[in-house]
C-alpha cells in the first residue's frame, strides 16, 4: 500500500486530489484552516468548460493594457504595493503571448480541461448533488457586432480542437438570453459545456464524499513546513504534525509556504470579485461573458452571480470597495433586471503563473514533497483532472498524458 499523504489545503483542487488518492487506496489527511471547498473556487463564475484552454496572454495583448486599466470598464488593476513584483511577472506573462507559446499552453491546458464535465459528474454520482452541474453553452457577448470574429486566434484554436462554435446576431442572442441587455449585438456560442449551480456546494458535497472514503480533515492553519529526517514537519496554529508525503495545494498561499523552505516560484495573487443578486426575477440560461468588461454572469442557487475582474495585490490585502461598486454597476448593465436588488459581495485570490499553467507533481530534490496549485482562472474546471494526474504520479500509475508542462521545476527557482 502507498505511504499516507497529507494534503495542505482543502480547496476544490485539494479535495479532488484527496478523492483520487483515496480511490487508489491511499490514506489521506487534509489540513485546512476553513471549511473545505470554500476558498477561491467557491466564488467563481461556475464555468465548467472542456474548451476553456486558451491562456490569458495572447498576441498583441500589450497594446490593450491602457484600455484594460484606464478605459471604460477597467477589468485590470494593480495596487501600488504589488508593482515591484508585478513588473517582472508581467514581462514574463507578456512574453508568453506569441502564437507558438499560446498553442503549446493550450495543448497542456486541454489535458486538464477536456474531461472536466465528465469527471465532475463521476465524482458527484451517488452523492445527491448530481444536479449541481447542468449542461449549457458559453455565450461570449459583444456590444459591437464586428468584434465577434470566429477567425480570432482563441476561437480558431478551440475550433481546431473540436469545439462547436456558433456566431449569432442580436435577434438570436436575445432569443437565447432574453434577460440580457439590448446593448449586446452579437455573440459567439461555445457549445458542449456545463456550469455549476453552486461551486461552494460542490465543494461541500465532495468533501463529504471524501470523508466517506476515509479521508481525515483537520481544521487548522498551516504556518510552516520543513524536512526532518525521513518526514515532513508541519507547523500549525494548534500544534505540529509529521507526514511522510505532503501535497501543497494552498492556492495563492502556496508560494509563501514554499518560500520558507527556500523555494521561489513566480506566482502572483490575482484577485477576482463577484456580486450575487439574491431573489432576482431575471435569469440566464447559460454562462454569459461580457467580453468588454471581462465579467461572467450565471444563474445560481443563491441568485444571479456576476464574477470577474483581475486585481493584482498582496494576498492578504483587503477587498476594494471601489471595484465592488464598479462591478455592481457593470452587472446591472449586463442584466438590466437587477436594479434595486442589493448584492452580496465576495473576493477571492487566483494563484497565477505567467504561463497560465499550474504546478503539479513532485518537487525535485525534496523527497516526499508534491505540489498542486497555480490554476489561475481555471481552478474549478481543472480541479478533477489535476487531482487524477497528481494521484497517478504519486502512486506510480502511468498517466495518460505527458505532465511535463506542469513541472514544478520549469521556472528554475530554489
User: Are both 242 and 135 inside the same structural domain?
Assistant: no
What DSSP state is assigned to residue 17?
A: H
Examine the domain organization and report whether 134 and 262 are in the same domain: no
Mark whether 9 and 142 lie in a shared domain. Answer: no
Q: How far is CA 347 from the centre of its chain?
A: 13
In a domain, 412, yes or no: no
CATH code at 79?
3.30.9.10
DSSP-based three-state secondary structure for 207: helix
163 and 104 both lie in a single domain:
yes
373 is a domain residue: yes
pLDDT tens sequence across 231-267: 999 999 999 999 999 999 999 999 999 999 999 999 9
- Pair (256, 301) in one structural domain: no
- Whether 283 and 392 share a structural domain: no
Domains of the chain: total: 2
Burial of 203 (0-12, 13-18, 19+ CB in 10 A): buried
Nearest CA among 92, 9, 6, 8 for reference residue 412: 92
* Shared domain check, 150 and 11: no
Name the domain boundary from 306, 325, 351: 351
Grid coordinates representing 375 are 490554476
Q: Which domain range does residue 360 map to?
A: 5-41+201-266+355-406
| Residue 165 and residue 237 in one domain | no
Which positions ≥6 away from 328 have C-beta within 8 Å? 275, 343, 345
**Residues near 228 by beta carbon (within 8 Å), at least 6 away in sequence:** 242
In a domain, 288, yes or no: yes
Flag whether pLDDT at 27 surpasses 80. yes
The answer to whether residue 120 sits within a structural domain is no
What is the largest distance, in Å, between two alpha-carbon atoms of the chain?
68
pLDDT for res 39: 83
- 317 DSSP 8-state letter: P
**Exposed e or buried b per residue across 352-374, where buried means at least 16 C-beta atoms within 10 angstroms of its C-beta:** bbbbbbbbbbbbeebebbbbbbb
Mean pLDDT of the chain: 96
Q: Do both 284 and 368 map to the same domain?
A: no
Cα 363 from chain centroid (whole Å): 22
Q: How confident is the model at residue 1 (pLDDT cuts 50, 70, 90)?
A: low
Residue 122 inside a domain? The answer is: no
Tens of pLDDT, residue by residue over 354-369, are 999 999 999 999 999 9
Q: Are 181 and 336 in contact (CB under 8 A)?
A: yes
**Is 414 part of a structural domain of the chain?**
no
**316, 334, 351 — which closes off a domain?**
351
Q: What percent of the chain stands above pLDDT 90?
A: 95
What residue spans of 40-80 are helical by DSSP H? Answer: 61-70
pLDDT digits (tens, 9 = 90+) for 94-147: 999 999 999 999 999 999 999 999 999 999 999 999 999 999 999 999 999 999
Query: Same structural domain for residues 51 and 79?
Result: yes
Per-residue pLDDT of 52-91, as tens digits, reads 999 999 999 999 999 999 999 999 999 999 999 999 999 9
Beta-sheet pairing, 76-78 with 47-48: unpaired
Same domain flag for 150 and 184:
yes
- Residue whose entry in the numeric block shows the C-alpha cell 479521508: 215
At residue 235, φ and ψ (nearest 5 deg) are -90, 125
Residue 220 lies in a domain: yes
23 domain residue, yes or no: yes
Return the CATH number at 401.
3.50.50.60
Distance separating alpha carbons of residues 309 and 149, to the nearest angstrom: 23
Quick one: 177 and 294 in the same domain?
yes
Amino acid at each position: 500500500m502507498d505511504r499516507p499523504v497529507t494534503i495542505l489545503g482543502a480547496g476544490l483542487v485539494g479535495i479532488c486530489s484527496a478523492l483520487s488518492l483515496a480511490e487508489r487506496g491511499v490514506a489521506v489527511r487534509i489540513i485546512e484552516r476553513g471549511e473545505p471547498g470554500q476558498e477561491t473556487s467557491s466564488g467563481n463564475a461556475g464555468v465548467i468548460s472542456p474548451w476553456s484552454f486558451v491562456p490569458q496572454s495572447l498576441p498583441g495583448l500589450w497594446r490593450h493594457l491602457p484600455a484594460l486599466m484606464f478605459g471604460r470598464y477597467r477589468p485590470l488593476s494593480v495596487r501600488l504595493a504589488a508593482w515591484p513584483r508585478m513588473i517582472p511577472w508581467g514581462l514574463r506573462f507578456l512574453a508568453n503571448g506569441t502564437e507558438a507559446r499560446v498553442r503549446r499552453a493550450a495543448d497542456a491546458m486541454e489535458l486538464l480541461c477536456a474531461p472536466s464535465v465528465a469527471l465532475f459528474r463521476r465524482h458527484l454520482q451517488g452523492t445527491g448533488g448530481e444536479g449541481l452541474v447542468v449542461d449549457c453553452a458559453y455565450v461570449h457577448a459583444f456590444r459591437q457586432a464586428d468584434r465577434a470574429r470566429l477567425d480570432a486566434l482563441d476561437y480558431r484554436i478551440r475550433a481546431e480542437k473540436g469545439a462547436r462554435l456558433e456566431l449569432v446576431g442580436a435577434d438570436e442572442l436575445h432569443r437565447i438570453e432574453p434577460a440580457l441587455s439590448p446593448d449586446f449585438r452579437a455573440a459567439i456560442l461555445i457549445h458542449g459545456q456545463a456550469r455549476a449551480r453552486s461551486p461552494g456546494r460542490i465543494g461541500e458535497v465532495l468533501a463529504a464524499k471524501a470523508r466517506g472514503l476515509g479521508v481525515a480533515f483537520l481544521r487548522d492553519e498551516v504556518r510552516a513546513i520543513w524536512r526532518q529526517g525521513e518526514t515532513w514537519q508541519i507547523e500549525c496554529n494548534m500544534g505540529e504534525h509529521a507526514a511522510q508525503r505532503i501535497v501543497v495545494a494552498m492556492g495563492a498561499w502556496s508560494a509563501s509556504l514554499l518560500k520558507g523552505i527556500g523555494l521561489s516560484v513566480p506566482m502572483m495573487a490575482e484577485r477576482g470579485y463577484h456580486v450575487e443578486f439574491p431573489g432576482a426575477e431575471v435569469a440566464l440560461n447559460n454562462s454569459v461573458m461580457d467580453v468588454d468588461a471581462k465579467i461572467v454572469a450565471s444563474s445560481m442557487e443563491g441568485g444571479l452571480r456576476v464574477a470577474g475582474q483581475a486585481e493584482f495585490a498582496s494576498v492578504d490585502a483587503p477587498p476594494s470597495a471601489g471595484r465592488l461598486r464598479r462591478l455592481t454597476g457593470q452587472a446591472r448593465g449586463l442584466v438590466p433586471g437587477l436594479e434595486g436588488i442589493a448584492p452580496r459581495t465576495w473576493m477571492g485570490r487566483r494563484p497565477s503563473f505567467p504561463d497560465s499553467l499550474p504546478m503539479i507533481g513532485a518537487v525535485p530534490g525534496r523527497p516526499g514533497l508534491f505540489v498542486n496549485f497555480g490554476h489561475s482562472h481555471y481552478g474549478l474546471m481543472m480541479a478533477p483532472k489535476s487531482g487524477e494526474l497528481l494521484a497517478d504520479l504519486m502512486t506510480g500509475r502511468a498517466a495518460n498524458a505527458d505532465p511535463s508542462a506542469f513541472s514544478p521545476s520549469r521556472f528554475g527557482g530554489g
